[in-house]
Amino acid sequence: MMRTYSGHSTATASNELYRSNLAKGQTGLSIAFDLPTQTGYDPDDPLARGEVGKVGVPVAHLGHMGTLLDQIPTGEMNTSMTINAPAAWMLGLYVANAQANGVQSRQLRGTTQNDIVKEYLSRGTYIFPPEHSRRLIVDMFAFCTEHVPNWNPMNVCSYHLQEAGATPVQEIAYSLATAIAVLDAVKESGQVNHDQFKRVVASVSFFVNAGIRFVEETCKMRAFTQMWDRITAERYDITDPKARRFRYGVQVNSLGLTEAQPENNVQRIVLEMLAVTLSKDARARSVQLPAWNEALGLPRPWDQQWSLRIQQVLAYESDLLEYDDIFAGSHVIEAKTNELIDEATAELEDVTELGGAFNAIEELKGRLVRSHTERMRRIERGEITIVGVNAY
């Protein structure tokens, strides 16, 4: 699935951008919402002043959603909506708009991010307390299981954890802890029967950050894949290997893009994309790439086209997709992967002892702050080199 994460200014302008990108070969939509929408405010609310349309598109009612998706075949589209606190409302608008255009909810395919733990740990665009947020997420799983079976109700998001300072071990452990906490709550709610619960487990997807440390990021994805396979088999008795698959999409690390010497971002983006595509056994199902100049401002259509072309060159011109996993049997990769699995398992067990992801939010937040502080100090001391920023 080839996407660009996009949305800006108005629903009309964003619709034009989406249709242009699809015409150039993009195969799915990834909708960026502005901050008022992400926190549940209408565009005309005084608290939204100065933020409307700034980092995404404003969508406050069914009319906005209809304009945003005008002339886009939602029955054939796979749509990712990066929305968390108002996820239930946004999915409701998406379903209502589809039905108004003759598309039944069972035809719809896509994802709502809907990861509120990540919002508490890294971004802050939450509305409701953790416990009540979890109840909304559980209800969405129950609704989708019955009415929108091809929809992923939750996209567990480790992306922002890395940007908030998480080490690979923390990124793996806290994301898996979130998924476990939600799945356990769905099971305990009694809203889905045994057979339906298997589909619920299979519907969980992940959204991952690919950083610049190429070998470590490759091993991180292999560790994620192996640990999720084990958790779904041992904790939830899932016997179908396809239902245990670690299904994830990637946005490569936008925080690592620099304003200084922005042309260096080209090679950063390519390396980060390779980290999540070279290993067939742990390959991303969906990749979205930022533009080289995103640290400077809103990318132009040409810049977004360029990001799409990176994926197309890899997929259609290289021979990568013709081979089995090229890292199989590598002593270096296997050793690093096993190291990450051991450390992440220990961290996950520690979170479990603290009561799980929703109950341990304050402690996990503190750990991320300490990790981020240490990383920034290492950059300032020159122990981590950022080309064009603190060296060369």
Strand ordering across the sheet containing 78-82: 5-6, 29-32, 78-82, 109-112, 151-152
Which range, of 48-52, 120-124, 217-221, 365-369, averages the lowest pLDDT? 120-124
On the question of pLDDT at 78 being above 80, the answer is: yes
Class in CATH terms, 113-380: alpha beta
- Provide CB contacts within 8 A for 34, sequence distance 6+: 7, 51, 52, 53, 54, 55, 56, 57, 58
Question: What's the confidence (pLDDT) of residue 39?
Answer: 95
Please check whether residue 88 is in contact with residue 139, taking contact to mean a CB–CB distance below 8 angstroms.
Answer: yes
Cα separation, 238 vs 201, whole angstroms:
8
Please check whether residue 325 is in contact with residue 280, taking contact to mean a CB–CB distance below 8 angstroms.
Answer: yes
For residue range 287-332, what is the model confidence (pLDDT) as tens digits?
889 899 989 987 888 998 999 999 999 999 999 999 999 999 999 9
Cα separation, 343 vs 1, whole angstroms:
31
Instruction: Name residue 248's beta-bridge partners.
Output: 206
- Provide CB contacts within 8 A for 44, sequence distance 6+: none
Question: What's the confidence (pLDDT) of residue 178?
Answer: 96
Q: Give percent of the chain with pLDDT exceeding 70.
A: 100
For residue range 126-147, what is the model confidence (pLDDT) as tens digits?
999 999 999 999 999 999 999 9
pTM, two decimals, is: 0.90
Q: Where are the domains of the chain?
A: 113-380
